[in-house]
Amino acid sequence: RRREPRERRRGDGELRRRVVWGVPAAVLAIFIVAQGGLWFALGISALGVIALHELYSMTRSVRPVDLAGFLAVVGIVLAALFGEPFHAVLALACAFPLTYALAVARPWREQVSWAVAVTLFGVLWVGLPLAHAVFLRESVHGGALVLDALIGTFVGDSIAYSAGRAWGRRKLAPRISPNKTVEGLLAGIVGGTLAFWLFETSYQEFMTGGQALLIGLGVALAAPLGDLFESLVKRDLDVKDTGGFFGPHGGVLDRLDAVFFSVPVAYYMSLAVL
Side-chain half-sphere exposure of 8, counting CA atoms within 13 A: 3
Determine the pLDDT at residue 3.
Answer: 46
CA angle 268, 155, 225 (to 5 degrees): 50
CA distance 55 to 252: 10
CA distance 160 to 164: 6
Q: What φ, ψ does residue 235 adopt, rounded to 5°?
A: -65, -40
CA distance 175 to 173: 6
pLDDT tens digit string along 68-102? 999 999 999 999 999 999 999 999 999 999 999 99
Least confident of 13-22, 31-40, 128-137, 223-232: 13-22
CA distance 186 to 101: 46
Helix or strand or coil: residue 64?
A: coil
CA neighbor of 106 nearest in space, from 155, 158, 65, 59 = 65
Q: CB–CB of 133/78 below 8 Å?
A: no
Q: State the pLDDT confidence band at 200, using cuts at 50, 70 and 90.
A: very high
Q: CB–CB of 151/98 below 8 Å?
A: no
pLDDT tens digit string along 121-137? 999 999 999 999 999 99
Q: List all residues 6 or more positions away from 104 whose beta carbon is below 8 Å from its beta carbon.
A: none
